[in-house]
Structure 1
């Protein structure tokens, strides 16, 4: 039996006891279990289980009263989780995590010693039933109003992951990147859970004191930080290798970030990649902090030299550097903007500069989400047993609630499909509502996971979207070996869209360092874009940024 199945086995073996924390439910339905009087009774039962478990209860769903693996349909399981979420809220608690297993007819038995048969998650081989274990903890779901998301960038080996590892754990690095290993997030953790927490590190603050992680790879450790903190800081990873700049662009353009954190190693100084990452961060108008890392490896004279190089690089792009060591944290928090860039010198080994970064992240304000109707661009999609297709991403504007009817698209033919929100997950918690700026996973009814594609958008049912193949833009060429002429074909990254496009400069050509107008046409299909959106384009070593100035609606 796998460790995951062992969780189910232990819950069944513990069984329902009068003074225990485990409860068996075959299924929960809105009509029956949320009826007047029944909700209060079941919430009291849940509260009893939580108190018996010292703040934690375990609900096994899809089993009979004696622990037999009955299994229920994915639709019934999703409804059961929605009902359980409401019961938990009524009891002053929340669902912290859900694990599911597929069971076939051969495993549907009253023998608790028979291990559940784990089914393939592909839709073609769906299990006959679902059994799940929900962990419920005391306390309401985190109010996410004071949660900032920081996008990290920097050249490879410039200490980006090590610095973040030290921030989220409070542990000094051993000089060999020991804290970097904390951030090796495994894809299966996202695929098996319901969360869409896209960050690769998170820590928080309570009463101005840091709440750190012991092991960022453990979902329950992340949940603990979320539970204990009244202020959260998430880091969205971007990679430094030149061949993977596409992923960096995805992290910087495709997420609703509040701040950027650019690392520059003191033993190497600003590189070509550093300047490109800086250009992308600042071109997208993201308030940015520069952290000079590895100060312990070089002399004070070398640190001062790199600080001057960073300041020159910032002034070259019309930004004002603000040395935090000289001007203080208060000034950095007050002045950080699209034009003022705080610079902090750090060492993950000696912990120099970590207190300053802590102080800044603890007090930097959340940037306001966009107003207006709900809109979310799909960043990732996956299939979860018992839940179905899940679209994850950052809410661009508005709010979304469980039960909302939405439009999803554009599909390859330019149309939009009607879908319904089954449930919403945020930070490993099921929530009833989420708003602009939140990283969420939305389980959808009316679509299968293979039909979900990155770059699609979720909108209210009454929206009237007009996807386009072509738009006008103001562009700036950051780097190109020659000139850009008519028919130039880079990949354009706007929101979570990554698509080949053709450029047609208004003046016929654009040279490196030039800014000018151009018509941009998606090569293969239409997407939903709008005026004011910023984008990055790249092809080989060529890179540039732009802003959409007008859109041409498809006929």
Structure 2
């Protein structure tokens, strides 16, 4: 028996008991179980199970009353989860996680061909899911060893760093990352606020601790803590361009100052028009004179890209919150060791408004894909605009031939929570009916079925070269990162060349296939040590 299957077996072994937290359901239907009077009764039953389990209940769906593995179809399971989600909401709870297994007619593990149905275990927790307005997402960037992960670790735990980066360990989860002291992939931290102030984690590695923060907080702040070491710049770009972020947080170490990587990350943050805060870190290691010197370096770097620095110590948090924008950048001095400045960041993150998603029809660029046994293909990403509901009919593409395929939304999950709909700004997983997971690729887009998309192989853009050893001429081939698209492309600059520091127009042609690209979208390009940013100015439909 696999470890995953053991979760199901444990729930079956515990069984339904009068005062227990486990409930068996063969299936739940909207017509029967959401009818007048029945909804209230089932919500009360769910509430009883949650209270019996000290805030957590387990619902096993696809089994008979005595625990026999009946198995139900994917469509029936999806409807059951939608009904269970509504019952949980009525009872002041939410679905935190759903695991599924395929079963054959004998009730055992099944091969794909022998599968008769699926059985699922839903974990339900007390407390409602926060609304969009109560959750902001902050992307951090900065040079390696400039204290990004350490600062985030101190914010989410409230613990002072020991000067050796111990709070960074709350975010570094791979053995080689802990050993080397570097973050090699995107990692996430979260903390929140209630009426009494910050709600922090004791141990960010513990899933239950994260769940507690979500449940107790009236407002959540999530960090996408990206890498700063040169070999992993592509991961940084993915974090900053591929996610729907509300704010950027750029760290600059007082003992090192503004570096070339600092300028590159600043360029990426500001090119994506992300309102950004600069945090001067490690101020405990240097003199006050050195802190002032680095503050001036930061101000010069900001003015070089036509941004206005605002020192929060001088002008106050109220001014920073009111003025932060695409052109005004607050600057805060901090130390994770002494915790100086962290209360200022707390106050800003508690009060900063959510920047909100784009208006318009539903659009989601796909970041990752999964195949869930019994459910099928799942595409995840951030809803760029509009909203989507379970049962919606969508278009998926462009496929390799440039066309789009009709698919249906089987179900939607957000951070393990089953939801009926998802709005702009939410990071979600969407189970799709009508397509195999193998046919879905990162960079594809989901659109309403009535949309009339026109993918293109090339587009016109305004670009700025941040770094390049020589000149960029016709045929230059960087990788372009636009939304979740990461594709090799060829540049054909107006006038035949672009030099380091130049801004100009260029034709960009994807090397292998077409994508859905729109005017006004921001992108980053890189090749070796060459990097730049750009804006799509004209799209010629094929």
Q: TM-score per shorter chain, which class?
A: over 0.9
Q: Note if 1:78 corresponds to 2:66.
A: no
Classify the secondary structure of the residue corresponding to 2:251: strand
The equivalent of 2:494 in structure 1 is: 506
State the Cα distance separating 1:104 from its structure 2 match: 5.2
The equivalent of 2:95 in structure 1 is: 95
Q: Note if 1:65 corresponds to 2:65.
A: yes
**1:28-52 residue CA offsets vs partner (Å, 9 max, x unmatched):** 3345434555434333322332333
* Aligned with 2:311 (options 315, 318, 323): 323
The equivalent of 1:458 in structure 2 is: 446
**1:50-99 residue CA offsets vs partner (Å, 9 max, x unmatched):** 33334432212233322234444444433322221122223332212223
Report if aligned partners of 1:78, 1:386 keep a CA contact under 8 Å in 2: no
The equivalent of 1:297 in structure 2 is: 285
Classify the secondary structure of the residue corresponding to 2:492: strand
The equivalent of 1:523 in structure 2 is: 511
* Aligned with 2:457 (options 469, 484, 495): 469
* Aligned with 1:478 (options 466, 474, 481): 466
Which deviates more, 303-312 or 62-71? 62-71
The equivalent of 1:415 in structure 2 is: 403
How far apart, CA to CA, are the structure 1 residues paired with 2:78 and 2:288?
59
Report if aligned partners of 1:486, 1:505 keep a CA contact under 8 Å in 2: yes
Report if aligned partners of 1:378, 1:496 keep a CA contact under 8 Å in 2: yes
Which deviates more, 483-492 or 87-96? 87-96
Residues 37 and 92 of structure 1: CA distance in aligned 2, closer, same or farther (over 3 Å) = same
How far apart, CA to CA, are the structure 2 residues paired with 1:497 and 1:5?
36
The equivalences for 1:213-362 within 5 A come to: 213-362=201-350
Q: Note if 1:165 corresponds to 2:153.
A: yes
The equivalent of 1:45 in structure 2 is: 45
The equivalent of 1:384 in structure 2 is: 372
Classify the secondary structure of the residue corresponding to 2:87: helix
Q: Note if 1:12 corresponds to 2:9.
A: no
Residues 125 and 155 of structure 1: CA distance in aligned 2, closer, same or farther (over 3 Å) = farther
The equivalent of 2:125 in structure 1 is: 137
User: How many residues end up aligned between the 2 structures?
Assistant: 532
Report if aligned partners of 2:104, 2:114 keep a CA contact under 8 Å in 1: no
The equivalent of 2:195 in structure 1 is: 207
State the Cα distance separating 1:2 from its structure 2 match: 6.7
The equivalent of 1:155 in structure 2 is: 143
Classify the secondary structure of the residue corresponding to 1:498: strand
The equivalent of 2:181 in structure 1 is: none
Classify the secondary structure of the residue corresponding to 1:65: coil
How far apart, CA to CA, are the structure 2 residues paired with 1:486 and 1:270?
32
How far apart, CA to CA, are the structure 2 residues paired with 1:68 and 1:59?
14
TM-score computed with the length of structure 1 as normaliser: 0.90
Report if aligned partners of 2:480, 2:489 keep a CA contact under 8 Å in 1: yes
Report if aligned partners of 1:141, 1:431 keep a CA contact under 8 Å in 2: no
How far apart, CA to CA, are the structure 1 residues paired with 2:342 and 2:162?
15
Report if aligned partners of 2:458, 2:540 keep a CA contact under 8 Å in 1: yes
Classify the secondary structure of the residue corresponding to 1:359: helix
State the Cα distance separating 1:264 from its structure 2 match: 1.3
* Aligned with 1:369 (options 357, 365, 369): 357
**1:150-208 residue CA offsets vs partner (Å, 9 max, x unmatched):** 11111111111111111111111222222212124589xxxxxxxxxx86111111126
Classify the secondary structure of the residue corresponding to 1:379: strand
Classify the secondary structure of the residue corresponding to 2:399: coil
How far apart, CA to CA, are the structure 1 residues paired with 2:6 and 2:209?
20
How far apart, CA to CA, are the structure 1 residues paired with 2:96 and 2:518?
37
Residues 20 and 315 of structure 1: CA distance in aligned 2, closer, same or farther (over 3 Å) = same
Report if aligned partners of 1:223, 1:427 keep a CA contact under 8 Å in 2: no
Which deviates more, 510-519 or 93-102? 93-102
Classify the secondary structure of the residue corresponding to 2:266: helix
**1:200-235 residue CA offsets vs partner (Å, 9 max, x unmatched):** 111111126111122222333222222221211111
Which deviates more, 146-155 or 75-84? 75-84
Unaligned runs of 5+ in 1: 109-116, 188-197
* Aligned with 1:548 (options 526, 536, 541): 536
The equivalent of 1:195 in structure 2 is: none
State the Cα distance separating 1:105 from its structure 2 match: 5.9
The equivalent of 2:482 in structure 1 is: 494
How far apart, CA to CA, are the structure 1 residues paired with 2:541 and 2:453?
10
Residues 163 and 127 of structure 1: CA distance in aligned 2, closer, same or farther (over 3 Å) = farther
How far apart, CA to CA, are the structure 1 residues paired with 2:526 and 2:25?
53
Classify the secondary structure of the residue corresponding to 1:244: helix
TM-score computed with the length of structure 2 as normaliser: 0.92
**1:453-503 residue CA offsets vs partner (Å, 9 max, x unmatched):** 111111111000000111111111111111111111111111111111111
Report if aligned partners of 1:22, 1:59 keep a CA contact under 8 Å in 2: yes
Report if aligned partners of 2:21, 2:49 keep a CA contact under 8 Å in 1: yes
The equivalent of 1:532 in structure 2 is: 520
State the Cα distance separating 1:505 from its structure 2 match: 1.3
**1:394-436 residue CA offsets vs partner (Å, 9 max, x unmatched):** 1111111111111111011111111111221223321111111
Report if aligned partners of 1:223, 1:428 keep a CA contact under 8 Å in 2: no
Residues 328 and 208 of structure 1: CA distance in aligned 2, closer, same or farther (over 3 Å) = farther
Classify the secondary structure of the residue corresponding to 1:312: helix
How far apart, CA to CA, are the structure 1 residues paired with 2:97 and 2:305?
46
How far apart, CA to CA, are the structure 2 residues paired with 1:220 and 1:78?
26
How far apart, CA to CA, are the structure 1 residues paired with 2:374 and 2:86?
18
How far apart, CA to CA, are the structure 2 residues paired with 1:142 and 1:498?
32
